[in-house]
């Protein structure tokens, strides 16, 4: 998380497919619903949250500063000319 925040980008690989993304740390209001879903589907994470899996989204918003959430925005490795139809 610290490296992603500092670098502003990450690379993810799956088999031979590698993709690069810029990262945007989302606001607490945006993170709340994501964290609530995460706790609901990933039971192993529950001890790290004060909010219970059945708590309202507002409880997850309140503790979002302890659980960073990033939006991944794909980087077009082909460059700017790739989108103009040439």
> Secondary structure of the chain in the HEC alphabet?
CHHHHHHCEEEEEECCEEEEEEEEECCHHHHHHHHHHHHHHCHHHHHHCCCCCCCCHHHHHHCHHHCCCEEEEECCCCCHHHHCCC
Instruction: Using pLDDT thresholds of 50, 70 and 90, give the confidence band for residue 86.
Output: very low
Tokens 């990262």: give the residue: 23
Instruction: Provide the whole-model pTM.
Output: 0.80
**Which sequence spans correspond to the domains of the chain?**
2-77
Q: In this predicted structure, what is the pLDDT of residue 80?
A: 54
Output the average pLDDT for the chain. 90
Q: How far apart are CA 64 and CA 38, in angstroms?
A: 12
């Amino acid at each position: 998380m610290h490296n992603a925040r500092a670098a502003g980008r990450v690379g993810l690989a799956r088999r031979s497919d590698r993709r690069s993304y810029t990262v945007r740390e989302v606001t607490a209001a945006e993170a709340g619903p994501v964290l609530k879903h995460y706790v609901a589907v990933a039971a192993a994470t529950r001890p790290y949250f004060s909010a219970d899996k059945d708590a309202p989204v507002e409880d997850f918003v309140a503790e979002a500063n302890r659980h960073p959430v990033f939006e991944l925005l794909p980087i077009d490795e082909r460059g700017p000319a790739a989108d103009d139809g040439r």
